[in-house]
Amino acid sequence: MTRPTFHRILLKLSGEVLMGSGQFGIDPATVKRVAEEILAIREAGYQLCIVVGGGNIFRGVAGQAQGFDRATGDYMGMLATVMNALAVQNALELLGVETRVQSAIPMASVCEPFIRRRAERHLEKGRVVIFAAGVGSPYFTTDSGAALRAAEMKCDALFKGTSVDGVYDADPKTVPGATRYEEIDFSTVLNKNLKIMDASAIALCRDNNIPIVVFNIREQGNLALVLAGEGIATIVRNGE
Ligand code: UDP
């Protein structure tokens, strides 16, 4: 199968990706490695937006289970994404990549607020724009934030970096013989309830015709390979 080529992409990094082999928090060596992957694709000329998650630090749902008010927990989760965004920004800037962080929750002394036209200008100037705080509202996730920003920034595709190399018909970590899809359409993902991203994020991508490319970001060099149409991944898009 030949994969389409993309120019402007949105990369979704879940918090989990940033904790490396740890169980919690930010692993500087892992963040550095991810930054190197990003540097490689910047150098290859792609325009890049990043949405970072916060699950390595705090999730509202987990907070609720421990007695937190859900919305309060979600705001804490959004603040966690800002910490991760700053960690990614720092690692990228150490490599000489110009970046800007824009948060959906304004935080004037920490980063820029989300302003679409301003983000557009940053991209035109070759900067990597890191979007933090998801959509800025509780009861959402950063997957929804990623789909929303991908649509607003007119990205050609949403790249979802995970710890598996694509979308399987069953969980490959628990079901032996699970098979990976090379390509699958949005409705099949939704009908089979395949857990790639939240249903709301998938529906937003479907409605705006933004393909989702699911790939393993833990494998070194994979992001550049997958972007070049090589490497192992699953592409989710609207059927013919
Ligand atoms: N969150 C939210 N609204 C958003 C984005 C995130 O309330 O628009 C909160 C929510 O509690 C979520 C947490 O921030 O659990 C961390 O984000 P997420 O779980 O999406 O991170 P990831 O799984 O990608 O690491």
CA of 177 to the centre of ligand 1 (A): 32
Q: Are 10 and 49 in contact (CB under 8 A)?
A: yes
pLDDT at residue 89 above 60? yes
Mean pLDDT (the chain, rounded)? 95
The predicted structure's pLDDT at residue 146: 98
pLDDT tens digits along 150-193: 999 999 999 999 888 999 998 888 999 999 999 999 999 999 99
CA of 142 to the centre of ligand 1 (A): 5
Would you say the CB of residue 52 lies under 6 angstroms from ligand 1? no
Given the structure tokens 């898009």, which residue do they identify?
A: 237
Residue nearest to atom 15 of ligand 1 (CA): 59
The predicted structure's pLDDT at residue 1: 52
pLDDT tens digits along 3-39: 677 999 999 999 999 998 889 999 999 999 999 999 9
Helix (H) or strand (E) holding 124: helix 116-124
Q: Are 132 and 103 in contact (CB under 8 A)?
A: yes
Would you say the CB of residue 149 lies under 6 angstroms from ligand 1? no
CA of 1 to the centre of ligand 1 (A): 34
The predicted structure's pLDDT at residue 133: 98
The single-letter code of the amino acid at 11 is: L
Contacts of residue 152, defined as CB under 8 A and 6 or more positions apart, other chains included, come to 116
Residue nearest to atom 16 of ligand 1 (CA): 54
By C-alpha distance, which of 200, 191, 231 is closest to 214? 231
The predicted structure's pLDDT at residue 3: 67
DSSP of 19-51: TTTSSSS--HHHHHHHHHHHHHHHHTT-EEEEE
Residue count of the chain: 240
Domains of the chain (ranges; CATH) run: 8-237 (3.40.1160.10)
Rg for the chain (alpha carbons), in Å?
17
Would you say the CB of residue 55 lies under 6 angstroms from ligand 1? yes
CA of 2 to the centre of ligand 1 (A): 33
Would you say the CB of residue 36 lies under 6 angstroms from ligand 1? no
pTM for the whole thing?
0.96
Contacts of residue 88, defined as CB under 8 A and 6 or more positions apart, other chains included, come to 13, 18, 31, 34, 35, 50, 52, 99, 130
